[in-house]
Structure 1
């Protein structure tokens, strides 16, 4: 890592290395928009994590604010800004403030006085994300908003923020003025490109006038909206025609959130948009921060070595592991972000707080853990994610931990989850947890059944049952007449379907659809059909559903909804749906209709008779998503009775 951990500068902002933690709306703000204790605890955990700067985010006024967002438009915010800056500075880390206005991409909110705050935009065109039609900004609102940006920048400068970053990306207000698709105005603020750039230009000039020539200002842009409204050439034109000294650097991301091109999910290749950063760097001569899916030190170093950017930005990797940067420098394994968006982006869009599906401590730094009365010997049965995370947390408390698993390898269902396209990085999570077992001196007993004799020999003080789940078999007439496997068996490679051409998958949830993706990718000559009983397939995929459904359509996979299998015959099935019965050729039927808890027979009765305290965790309690499973592990290990909102 010859460049990543060397210093650099953006204007007068001196940075100790090339890592910048990017802006994320966390939803942690106090009810009045102030920075509070939850922010302090969250950012304190990250400020000593090795990055050069942390980017906070706050709205310049009430209209531009989202639910539970920090704000910058009143004097009451000064103290919180100073406190969080002092906290971050005390750990040798700089503070950047991202000046935000949601534009049309928000729901109606309430101001501090109870007044309704409607989304504002250049034109009354609804957001495809929030569906609400914004109000067209008046001349007075445009002028007031420019002043609000300038005042917010001054407030940041006066209260210890080292640099500001102005949001003109991702489909928020400034970028909405730039785009032909969202700016239909016929006055001086719309029409030709120069008119559409007028508002963001005025904002930047007002900020520079307010903060002075020496204060660092960064502009964050999308390379284009990726919808046809503007492109990277327009952005370079915009930057190069700003008055000299208006900005000191540029953060370059991909497109808008609503673009038909994935922006931040696991489908995006590592550093997939770094080429845009390279062009901006070359054509403007300004320092550039590259971002989006720069999720490992190796990728970051490559971006720098190839001259794509001067700095690298990451956001969600620091949600997954607060010490991502410093661990990378030391060559230590870190908890890798899976870009699943489940705990972060999908929750924030719903107006919830930011968590992490794979790190249940994220967003819960302020929770007071209840310690054990004394050190104990803990037995964990099962080596899936719930089992390994339980072992990690219990060992970190100083307890002696033994993990027993019937499997030869650690990982449980994670090994299956890593098989579909784009999901291989889950294997890195398995390696990370395996490293944590060694680091925390967890005794591993692989290929061993935790029967009564083993438990009596180990003499544990407490047991966690984390034995996972098994696939559920549906009751279908004639199921024995057809070649039939579980999706899990196919993904693991236990069952070979390479000779099968007419494949029917029963179950259109994430497992069924990802199995279809997996099979379609391995042999494009197959005829693959997915049968789903409900009106909508892939409901548990959340924000990545549209990508998966698009991939399946492109691969020729047919998804039949509101349909069930009536009965099976040799190499064919009869389905029943809205249009009546239909026969489909099927030389193999793959089942993906859910799972049920898997618990060793008689184990609970034995533990009760022996008087050994036990807790059932993860899918062994009830099959759910990994985010819910790990959150419950976190609460159980720390003796907390209540589980918060983790959906």
Structure 2
């Protein structure tokens, strides 16, 4: 008997029966072809999630009105019958694994992707951009509104003909229906604006049109922002009042949150708790008595089961969690919780790739979101000895991946623990999710009989030579960048110093627990410096100051983390000094240069967080060793160039290309 029984209870909604309570919500991927059609990799991406046991796969938002309603660099379309064959193929593939399917139909309105609008001005309820800095839209005329309503009905009819089991209408997240519902966007004075009833009219017409198109027995889902999380926006109570005008014909209420300018609560920032939004779904369920969906950093099976057991919601939407771990349902069902590759909510390969950088979706902790474990099918043919130096996430991913395809791997880590910088950063309370990745890698490593790990062991050339390796992978990580600034190194050497590096904080967290009355100054406005600012500002320090040479903070961060950090800075009144250079360090103040003037920033505790630099002390010897013996030498991760976990994980999985090349060389040597 599984310890999480609520997750695996079937649920019937009209003529659709879900085998469990886990659904994949719609998430844009940038996988579609430019004409809005599917390709094989796109379907394969979804197949992995259906194969992994997900009960309901909701296809990412499909455009009902091209080009004016388009969203994203590439987006699926459902505005023409020519897309039905591809959608039918998608449904055949998903249904083969027992998954039900839905598709989200959507018009982006003022959030339309500008480069696809062919020179047209975007449209909306009013002339208010859907995001600060976005293009100003023009208000839709009544005839245009009614024409768009018809397009929703036509799209729903196509979805039904294409074999979907359900249809979802997107009424949240600053897209067109949301732009009519929200008083932040809708300042109309006609029958589509003003009162709640008028602002709800567009949504009501769409729901009615969709119901007429699909008939009485086909489930309709509505996704909406229950709380817009912005001053002047709809609150939870106000949204429920709006729903009362059009929820009757809806079967499933998908309770999300936030708008574009509060996106860190829609695509949840890292420090939000598992299932933090479930109170919203509970309120909606109690008021309307409908099947409800909740979401929000749901990673833990226990939390997921508890949400269902309490009756807060009926279904659990795991978006980024299923990008990271397509097999979440199957692993939980098979009591393999220790092998869950949990999403760490870093938002780098998913949200930042798609929204900020127009790239296809990727994942920090899952190096291959499309083919998953396909690499294991290509086992090497020869005995191959591989040494990995370092025990961080890059080293662990490389070592386990190689062992899983047949290599004999020996890993050396000089510390008494694995995880490297990731495990150390995870000591910060707001970054604790990162530790989930390390925990997963450790559990996965234990499943590999051909992988041997030596802790408390600093690798040297003599030790490596004894193993006679065919391949040596150096993944020794990075160390803090401490440039020769006047007073810096001298101050860091003082026995009673008040100036620290990030490692001083991470290695001795127990010494940095005083917050009240403390004045904190941080040099460096990148990821590391902002982590320190977050730690102290969120815990009540008297004042926090941050200094950055560049004109903006957090230029190296993903969009969600940067927005959440800037929100913290504004909320807590952090003193920000951009275009400001550190010139001298003393034990109680930093001297900086700003606009040609020198100034002092006093502190009780000062932190110098100027980034990280590669640390690879053995590479020169290893290169010579490789030249002498013919062993292949690779340098990956931060020891090659200090970056993020994302880049390290990709390079770690890519080491399999090198493993196969070495295996092929052995094959050639055998033949000759």
Fold match (TM-score > 0.5): yes
Corresponding residue number in structure 1 for 2:554: 538
User: Is the CA contact (8 Å cut-off) linking 2:479 and 2:614 kept in structure 1?
Assistant: yes
| TM-score computed with the length of structure 1 as normaliser | 0.93
The 2-side partners of 1:435 and 1:553 are apart by 40
* 1:401 maps onto 2:418 in alignment: no
Write out per-residue CA displacement over residues 181-219 of structure 1, whole angstroms, 9 at most, x where no aligned residue.
211222222222211111111111111111111111111
1:452 paired residue among 456, 461, 476: 461
More helix by proportion, 1 or 2?
Answer: 2
* 1:231 maps onto 2:235 in alignment: yes
User: Is the CA contact (8 Å cut-off) linking 2:196 and 2:242 kept in structure 1?
Assistant: no
User: Is the CA contact (8 Å cut-off) linking 1:371 and 1:639 kept in structure 2?
Assistant: no
Shift of the 556–215 alpha-carbon distance from structure 1 to 2, 3 Å rule, reads closer
2:70 paired residue among 65, 71, 80: 65
Corresponding residue number in structure 2 for 1:272: 276
The 2-side partners of 1:605 and 1:526 are apart by 54
The 1-side partners of 2:187 and 2:115 are apart by 25
Write out per-residue CA displacement over residues 325-354 of structure 1, whole angstroms, 9 at most, x where no aligned residue.
221222322111111211111222133211
Write out per-residue CA displacement over residues 425-448 of structure 1, whole angstroms, 9 at most, x where no aligned residue.
112211111001001222111112
The 1-side partners of 2:479 and 2:445 are apart by 25
Corresponding residue number in structure 2 for 1:486: 501
Corresponding residue number in structure 2 for 1:505: 522
Corresponding residue number in structure 2 for 1:476: 485
User: Is the CA contact (8 Å cut-off) linking 2:79 and 2:154 kept in structure 1?
Assistant: yes
2:583 paired residue among 532, 545, 566: 566
Corresponding residue number in structure 1 for 2:258: 255
Q: Which segment is superposed worse, 427-436 or 575-584?
A: 575-584
Corresponding residue number in structure 2 for 1:289: 293
Q: Which segment is superposed worse, 398-407 or 382-391?
A: 398-407
Tell me the SS of whatever aligns to 1:4. helix
Corresponding residue number in structure 2 for 1:81: 87
User: Is the CA contact (8 Å cut-off) linking 2:203 and 2:246 kept in structure 1?
Assistant: no
Shift of 1:591: 2.0
Corresponding residue number in structure 1 for 2:126: 123
Output aligned runs, 1:49-448, within 5 Å.
49-57=52-60, 58-62=62-66, 63-66=68-71, 67-110=73-116, 115-116=118-119, 118-128=121-131, 131-227=134-230, 228-242=232-246, 244=248, 246-259=249-262, 262-263=265-266, 264-332=268-336, 333=338, 334-350=340-356, 351-363=358-370, 374-441=382-449, 442-448=451-457
The 2-side partners of 1:159 and 1:14 are apart by 18
User: Is the CA contact (8 Å cut-off) linking 2:63 and 2:106 kept in structure 1?
Assistant: yes
Count of residues in Structure 1 that have an aligned counterpart in Structure 2: 636
User: Is the CA contact (8 Å cut-off) linking 1:619 and 1:629 kept in structure 2?
Assistant: yes
Shift of the 583–297 alpha-carbon distance from structure 1 to 2, 3 Å rule, reads same
Shift of 1:399: 1.8
Shift of 1:20: 0.8
| TM-score computed with the length of structure 2 as normaliser | 0.89
User: Is the CA contact (8 Å cut-off) linking 1:262 and 1:547 kept in structure 2?
Assistant: no
Tell me the SS of whatever aligns to 1:252. strand
The 2-side partners of 1:267 and 1:569 are apart by 33
CA RMSD of aligned residues (A): 2.5
User: Is the CA contact (8 Å cut-off) linking 2:293 and 2:316 kept in structure 1?
Assistant: yes
Write out per-residue CA displacement over residues 94-124 of structure 1, whole angstroms, 9 at most, x where no aligned residue.
111111211211332437xxx5454321112
Write out per-residue CA displacement over residues 399-438 of structure 1, whole angstroms, 9 at most, x where no aligned residue.
2222111121110001222122321111221111100100
Flag structure 2 segments of 5+ consecutive residues without an equivalent. Answer: 492-496, 661-672
The 1-side partners of 2:235 and 2:568 are apart by 25
Output aligned runs, 1:14-33, within 5 Å.
14-33=17-36
Corresponding residue number in structure 2 for 1:644: none
Shift of 1:53: 0.8
User: Is the CA contact (8 Å cut-off) linking 2:614 and 2:640 kept in structure 1?
Assistant: yes
Write out per-residue CA displacement over residues 362-386 of structure 1, whole angstroms, 9 at most, x where no aligned residue.
1466999987564522221111111
Shift of 1:69: 0.5
